[in-house]
Protein backbone atom coordinates (compact mmCIF):
# COMPACT_ATOMS: atom_id res chain seq x y z
CA UNK A 1 0.00 0.00 0.00
CA UNK A 2 1.14 3.51 -0.78
CA UNK A 3 0.35 6.20 1.77
CA UNK A 4 0.19 9.93 1.04
CA UNK A 5 -0.34 12.23 3.99
CA UNK A 6 -0.46 15.92 4.79
CA UNK A 7 -1.22 17.68 8.08
CA UNK A 8 -2.37 21.19 8.81
CA UNK A 9 -3.54 23.26 11.78
CA UNK A 10 -6.85 25.08 11.32
CA UNK A 11 -7.68 27.88 13.74
CA UNK A 12 -11.24 26.66 14.29
CA UNK A 13 -12.80 24.14 16.70
CA UNK A 14 -12.87 20.51 15.54
CA UNK A 15 -16.68 20.56 15.38
CA UNK A 16 -16.58 23.32 12.75
CA UNK A 17 -13.87 21.62 10.65
CA UNK A 18 -15.72 18.30 10.92
CA UNK A 19 -19.03 19.89 9.83
CA UNK A 20 -17.30 21.22 6.71
CA UNK A 21 -15.57 17.92 5.84
CA UNK A 22 -18.60 15.71 6.61
CA UNK A 23 -20.44 17.21 3.59
CA UNK A 24 -19.07 16.11 0.20
CA UNK A 25 -20.54 19.27 -1.38
CA UNK A 26 -17.78 21.24 0.41
CA UNK A 27 -14.93 19.11 -0.92
CA UNK A 28 -15.05 20.83 -4.32
CA UNK A 29 -13.54 23.91 -2.65
CA UNK A 30 -10.55 21.84 -1.52
CA UNK A 31 -9.77 20.33 -4.93
CA UNK A 32 -7.06 21.48 -7.33
CA UNK A 33 -7.81 23.22 -10.63
CA UNK A 34 -7.54 20.04 -12.73
CA UNK A 35 -10.78 18.68 -11.22
CA UNK A 36 -13.69 19.18 -13.65
CA UNK A 37 -17.32 18.08 -14.08
CA UNK A 38 -17.93 18.05 -10.31
CA UNK A 39 -21.32 16.83 -9.07
CA UNK A 40 -22.06 16.05 -5.43
CA UNK A 41 -24.54 15.37 -2.68
CA UNK A 42 -23.89 15.33 1.06
CA UNK A 43 -22.57 11.76 0.79
CA UNK A 44 -21.21 11.28 -2.75
CA UNK A 45 -19.08 13.25 -5.21
CA UNK A 46 -18.25 12.43 -8.83
CA UNK A 47 -15.69 14.27 -10.90
CA UNK A 48 -13.06 14.02 -13.60
CA UNK A 49 -9.37 14.50 -13.02
CA UNK A 50 -8.53 16.27 -16.26
CA UNK A 51 -6.83 13.95 -18.78
CA UNK A 52 -6.47 11.19 -16.16
CA UNK A 53 -9.66 9.47 -14.94
CA UNK A 54 -13.21 9.82 -13.62
CA UNK A 55 -13.81 9.14 -9.92
CA UNK A 56 -16.85 8.73 -7.74
CA UNK A 57 -16.28 8.86 -3.98
CA UNK A 58 -18.61 8.42 -1.03
CA UNK A 59 -18.36 9.01 2.69
CA UNK A 60 -18.23 5.57 4.29
CA UNK A 61 -17.83 6.59 7.92
CA UNK A 62 -18.34 9.70 10.02
CA UNK A 63 -17.24 9.97 13.65
CA UNK A 64 -18.34 13.32 15.06
CA UNK A 65 -15.51 15.86 15.30
CA UNK A 66 -12.75 13.26 14.71
CA UNK A 67 -13.03 11.27 11.45
CA UNK A 68 -14.38 11.36 7.90
CA UNK A 69 -13.55 8.24 5.87
CA UNK A 70 -14.13 8.29 2.10
CA UNK A 71 -14.06 5.32 -0.28
CA UNK A 72 -14.81 4.83 -3.99
CA UNK A 73 -18.52 4.68 -4.83
CA UNK A 74 -17.73 2.99 -8.15
CA UNK A 75 -14.82 0.77 -9.20
CA UNK A 76 -11.75 3.06 -9.29
CA UNK A 77 -8.58 2.56 -11.37
CA UNK A 78 -7.01 1.27 -8.11
CA UNK A 79 -8.27 0.55 -4.59
CA UNK A 80 -8.05 3.54 -2.30
CA UNK A 81 -9.25 5.14 0.90
CA UNK A 82 -9.23 8.83 1.83
CA UNK A 83 -9.30 9.74 5.50
CA UNK A 84 -9.54 13.03 7.40
CA UNK A 85 -8.56 12.68 11.06
CA UNK A 86 -9.17 15.62 13.38
CA UNK A 87 -7.98 16.42 16.88
CA UNK A 88 -8.56 19.63 18.78
CA UNK A 89 -5.64 21.28 20.56
CA UNK A 90 -6.13 24.59 22.42
CA UNK A 91 -9.18 25.59 20.36
CA UNK A 92 -7.47 24.87 17.02
CA UNK A 93 -7.80 21.67 14.99
CA UNK A 94 -5.02 19.40 13.79
CA UNK A 95 -6.27 17.93 10.51
CA UNK A 96 -4.46 15.00 8.90
CA UNK A 97 -5.50 13.96 5.39
CA UNK A 98 -4.34 10.55 4.21
CA UNK A 99 -4.82 8.74 0.92
CA UNK A 100 -4.00 5.04 1.06
CA UNK A 101 -3.83 3.44 -2.39
CA UNK A 102 -3.07 -0.02 -3.69
CA UNK A 103 -0.78 0.88 -6.58
CA UNK A 104 1.17 -1.37 -8.91
CA UNK A 105 4.81 -0.40 -9.42
CA UNK A 106 3.93 1.31 -12.72
CA UNK A 107 0.95 3.18 -11.21
CA UNK A 108 3.11 4.18 -8.25
CA UNK A 109 5.62 5.81 -10.59
CA UNK A 110 2.84 7.66 -12.42
CA UNK A 111 0.52 8.54 -9.54
CA UNK A 112 2.75 9.20 -6.50
CA UNK A 113 3.55 12.82 -7.41
CA UNK A 114 -0.04 13.80 -8.26
CA UNK A 115 -1.47 12.04 -5.17
CA UNK A 116 1.00 13.73 -2.81
CA UNK A 117 0.25 17.07 -4.50
CA UNK A 118 -3.47 16.40 -3.99
CA UNK A 119 -3.19 15.76 -0.24
CA UNK A 120 -0.93 18.80 0.20
CA UNK A 121 -3.26 21.04 -1.80
CA UNK A 122 -6.40 19.85 0.01
CA UNK A 123 -4.94 20.52 3.48
CA UNK A 124 -3.60 23.92 2.39
CA UNK A 125 -7.00 24.83 0.93
CA UNK A 126 -8.80 23.63 4.07
CA UNK A 127 -6.64 25.85 6.28
CA UNK A 128 -7.16 28.91 4.07
CA UNK A 129 -10.92 28.29 3.64
CA UNK A 130 -11.59 28.01 7.39
CA UNK A 131 -9.14 30.61 8.68
Look up the CATH superfamily of 2-129.
Answer: START domain (3.30.530.20)
> pLDDT tens, 95-122?
999 999 999 999 899 889 989 999 999 9
In this prediction the pTM is 0.94
User: What does the alpha-carbon distance between residue 79 and residue 125 come to, in Å, rounded to a whole number?
Assistant: 25
Q: Which residues contact 121 (CB under 8 A, 6 or more apart)?
A: 30, 31, 32
* Tally of CB atoms within 10 A around 76: 16
> pLDDT tens, 31-54?
998 899 999 999 999 998 877 788
Amino acid sequence: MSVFESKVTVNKPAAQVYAFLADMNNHRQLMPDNIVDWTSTTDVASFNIQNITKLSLKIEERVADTLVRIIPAEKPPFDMELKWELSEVDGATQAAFTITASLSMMMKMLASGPLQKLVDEETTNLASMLS
